[in-house]
Amino acid sequence: MPQDALFDYVLRMGDNCLVLAQRVSVWCGHAPVLEEDIALANTALDLIGQTRLWLSYAGEIEGKGRSADDLAYLRDARAFRNCLLVEQPNGDFGQTLMRQFLFDAWHHFTLGALKNSADGRIAEIAEKAAKEVAYHLDRSGDLVIRLGDGTAESHNRMQAALDHLWPFAGELTTPDEVDEALTQKGVAADLAQVESQVSAYMEKTLAEATLSAPKDAPVRKGGKTGLHGEELGYILAEMQFLQRAYPGATW
């Protein structure tokens, strides 16, 4: 069980990055301003880089000779361990941005904790990813503030996005057995601590954005244990198309 927990934990980190990168990269060439085309491609690029690090390590932990590409391209939806938040559809640009912001906040504080993980490889990957993610959060946080406190329309769109996505964000900070077992060993990020850091950050940033988080919204979860929404199958069908259509080919 402990080895399995570690495999699961590292898969979660990698799958979050991969599925979000898939979503975000759809905006290439379609964003509201050129600077956003560039920034979103850059975010997706960072996330794919992190995916490769996490999934390579997951393959090593598993010890069955699966590469990062095998894990990305040849698993079905039930074996994916990403949270529900990152698989949510792009919606309008406000929804894409809010999804990014909620994820970045969790990601930032989690990686901050993982830099001190008892697992040396995790600490190493976190160290590298944390620099990129600090920048992602700076950017998404800043845009959420500006649009929340922009026009009435931009405010309404950002508030609607927050109302819609907030219930999914809870999954990230809700610990389960995998988190608990690995937190005890000093390997995983302590989600109680991450949760309080995220809350403090959210409170301050959302106030500045003149947005308010829904109260007592029930948490929507399942992705971390492989119970996804219907959308994930389509994301994978698209992503895995060439590997599935031409089995064994090298590219």
Partner 1 sequence: MYAQEVKSTGKPVKSLDEMDPEERAFQERIDADIKIEPKDFMPEGYRKTLIRQISQHAHSEIVGQLPEGNWITRAPTLERKAILLAKVQDEAGHGLYLYCAAETLGASRDEMTEQLLAGKAKYSSIFNYPSLTWADIGAIGWLVDGAAIMNQVQLQRCSYGPYSRAMVRICKEESFHQRQGYDIMMKLVKGTDAQQEMAQDALDRWWWPSLMMFGPPDAQSVHSAQSMAWKIKPVSNDELRQRFVDQTVPQAEYLGLQIPDPDLKWNEARGRYDFGKIDWNEFYDVLKGNGPCNKERMAARQKAWDDGAWFRDGLMAHARKKQSRKMAAE
Residues that bind partner 1 (CB under 8 A): 18, 21-22, 25-26, 28-38, 41-42, 44-45, 48-49, 51-52, 55, 68-69, 72-73, 92-94, 145-147, 149-151, 153-155, 157, 238-239, 241-243, 246, 249-251
| DSSP secondary structure of 100-142 | HHHHHHHHHHHHHHHTT-SSHHHHHHHHHHHHHHHHHHHHHHH
CA-closest candidate to residue 171, choices 219, 214, 213 = 219
Give the residue with the Cβ less far from partner 1, 95 or 110.
95
Give the residue with the Cβ less far from partner 1, 10 or 191.
10
Nearest distance, CB of residue 221 and partner 1, angstroms: 26
Nearest distance, CB of residue 35 and partner 1, angstroms: 7
What is the Cα–Cα distance from 66 to 72, expressed in whole angstroms?
A: 10
Give the residue with the Cβ less far from partner 1, 60 or 195.
60
Nearest distance, CB of residue 132 and partner 1, angstroms: 13
Nearest distance, CB of residue 129 and partner 1, angstroms: 14
Give the residue with the Cβ less far from partner 1, 55 or 162.
55
**Tokens 């508030």 -> residue:** 159
**φ, ψ for residue 36, nearest 5 deg:** -75, -35
Nearest distance, CB of residue 28 and partner 1, angstroms: 4
**Cβ neighbours for 94, distance < 8 A, ≥ 6 positions apart:** 147, 154, 157, 158, 160, 161
Give the residue with the Cβ less far from partner 1, 13 or 198.
13
What is the Cα–Cα distance from 100 to 86, expressed in whole angstroms?
A: 8
Q: Are 176 and 144 a contacting pair, CB within 8 Å?
A: no
3-state secondary structure of 179: helix
Nearest distance, CB of residue 89 and partner 1, angstroms: 13
What is the Cα–Cα distance from 127 to 125, expressed in whole angstroms?
A: 5
Nearest distance, CB of residue 155 and partner 1, angstroms: 8
What is the Cα–Cα distance from 95 to 133, expressed in whole angstroms?
A: 19
Give the residue with the Cβ less far from partner 1, 35 or 216.
35
**φ, ψ for residue 213, nearest 5 deg:** -75, 140
Structure-token pair, residue 75:
């698993």
Give the residue with the Cβ less far from partner 1, 144 or 182.
144
